[in-house]
């Protein structure tokens, strides 16, 4: 497997962090064999073209990250050997449709997105390429055009084989990621990790947006942390009904304990709500409600929080 051309689709907080790390490391090590390309848009793209992407890390480093090409037109790039999908969930279908005539059967796709149906949604549009089920942990956001801020621990992700390619050997990919300084964990069964991360991000995203509090504030509020726990219980029941096991018996307590290390974090869904921007509410509230309905699992806590915050009728499609 050759990883000559690396495409980062979406240079927001997640794509800006991982794409920035790769661009900076390739430059730092003076590696000519690999090229990295940024699919971005708007003023963010303009600033990246002018000055490179500025990445501030939790290690108090300021990295200037210059891709080989930055563009808002996918046709400006060569066919990728490795493609990171880092867009918001509401842009996923549009991007997948663009990729299906752009990639080859050898393209490796890593979706750095935290939904429980991301792999299935991508596969619905892409019949070729290796799509590796993934979940990502990183605290980062676009502070202003051209600038991405990362806080907390270094970003990392869990991933595993595409069910269509169960014999895929990740060795070359893992060696590349290690060389780039990117932490990753190859899982025989990545779905446990994907659902564990979803339990975390969906519950805190919905409750933080609902209350206007940070994660730390929610944890220290008896009423609001109860909302989080009740919402987690609804997701766990759905996971169990779908055959996702074995989830830890202490997953609720463990997840809350993990989040205590990020007391000042506001989930990106909450930040989008507060700024009146298009948001990923459907990735959390909508998905939980639809899956619950299709599986016969009541989701009253999710429905109550989601309806009141988003102020529109829940999408009732199954």
- Give backbone dihedrals phi and psi of 55, rounded to 5 degrees, phi first: -120, 120
Q: What is the pLDDT of residue 261?
A: 87
**Among 44, 74, 258, residue whose Cα is nearest residue 153:** 258
pTM: 0.93
| The token pair that represents 72 in the structure block | 């808002």
**Among 145, 266, 285, residue whose Cα is nearest residue 214:** 266
Would you list the DSSP string of 229-266? HHHHHHHHHHHHHTT--PPPTTHHHHHHHHHTT-TT--
What ranges in the chain are assigned the alpha helix state H?
13-28, 42-51, 92-99, 118-125, 171-180, 191-211, 215-219, 222-241, 251-259, 268-274, 281, 287-295, 300-310
Express each pLDDT in 163-181 by its tens digit. 999 999 999 999 999 999 9
CATH number of the 192-310 domain: 1.10.1040.10
Q: Is the pLDDT of residue 37 over 70?
A: yes
Mean pLDDT, rounded, of the chain: 94
CATH 1.10.1040.10 residue spans of the chain: 192-310
- Provide CB contacts within 8 A for 172, sequence distance 6+: 1, 3
CATH 3.40.50.720 residue spans of the chain: 5-188
> H helices then E strands: how many in the chain?
13, 11
Give the 3-state secondary structure of residue 110. strand
**Among 213, 256, 248, residue whose Cα is nearest residue 231:** 256
Give the homologous superfamily in CATH for domain 5-188: NAD(P)-binding Rossmann-like Domain (3.40.50.720)
211 near 270, Cβ under 8 Å?
A: no
- Rounded mean pLDDT, 1-9: 95
Q: Is the pLDDT of residue 317 over 80?
A: no
53-56 vs 62-65, strand pairing mode: antiparallel
In angstroms, rounded to a whole number, what is the distance separating the alpha carbons of residues 207 and 226? 10
- Rounded mean pLDDT, 191-196: 96
* 276 DSSP 8-state letter: T
Express each pLDDT in 217-264 by its tens digit. 999 999 999 999 999 999 999 999 999 988 999 999 999 999 998 898
| The token pair that represents 70 in the structure block | 């930055």
Percent of the chain with pLDDT over 90: 91
Percent of the chain with pLDDT over 70: 97
Q: How confident is the model at residue 315 (pLDDT cuts 50, 70, 90)?
A: very low
Express each pLDDT in 95-144 by its tens digit. 999 999 999 999 999 999 999 999 999 999 999 999 999 999 998 999 99
Which residues are bridge partners to 62 per DSSP?
A: 56
Q: What is the pLDDT of residue 22?
A: 98
């Amino acid at each position: 497997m050759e990883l000559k051309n690396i495409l980062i689709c979406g240079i927001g907080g997640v794509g800006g962090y991982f794409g920035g790390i790769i661009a900076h490391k390739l430059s730092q090590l003076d590696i000519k064999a690999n090229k990295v390309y940024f699919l971005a848009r708007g003023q963010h793209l303009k600033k990246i073209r002018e000055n490179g992407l500025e990445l501030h890390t939790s290690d108090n480093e300021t990295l200037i990250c210059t891709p080989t090409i930055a563009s808002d037109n996918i046709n400006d790039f060569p066919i990728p050997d490795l493609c990171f999908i880092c867009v918001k969930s509401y842009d996923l279908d549009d991007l997948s449709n663009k990729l299906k005539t752009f990639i080859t059967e050898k393209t490796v796709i890593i979706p750095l997105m935290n939904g429980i149906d991301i792999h299935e949604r991508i596969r619905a549009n892409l019949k070729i390429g290796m799509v590796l089920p993934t979940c990502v942990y990183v605290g980062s956001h676009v502070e202003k055009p051209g600038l991405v801020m990362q806080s907390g621990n270094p970003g990392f992700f869990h991933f595993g084989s595409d069910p269509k390619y169960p014999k895929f050997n990740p060795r070359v990919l893992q060696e590349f990621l290690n060389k780039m300084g990117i932490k990753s964990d190859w899982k025989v069964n990545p779905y446990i990790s994907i659902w564990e991360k979803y339990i975390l991000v969906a519950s805190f995203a919905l409750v933080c947006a609902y209350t206007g509090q940070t994660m730390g504030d929610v944890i220290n509020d008896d009423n609001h942390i109860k909302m989080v726990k009740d919402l987690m219980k609804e997701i766990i029941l759905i996971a169990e009904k779908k055959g996702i096991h074995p989830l830890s018996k202490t997953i609720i307590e463990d997840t809350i304990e993990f989040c205590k290390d990020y007391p000042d974090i506001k989930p990106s869904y909450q930040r989008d709500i507060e700024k009146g921007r298009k948001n990923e509410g459907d990735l959390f509230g909508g998905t939980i409600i639809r899956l619950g309905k299709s599986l016969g699992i009541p989701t009253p806590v999710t429905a109550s929080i989601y309806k009141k915050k988003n102020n529109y009728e829940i999408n009732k499609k199954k």
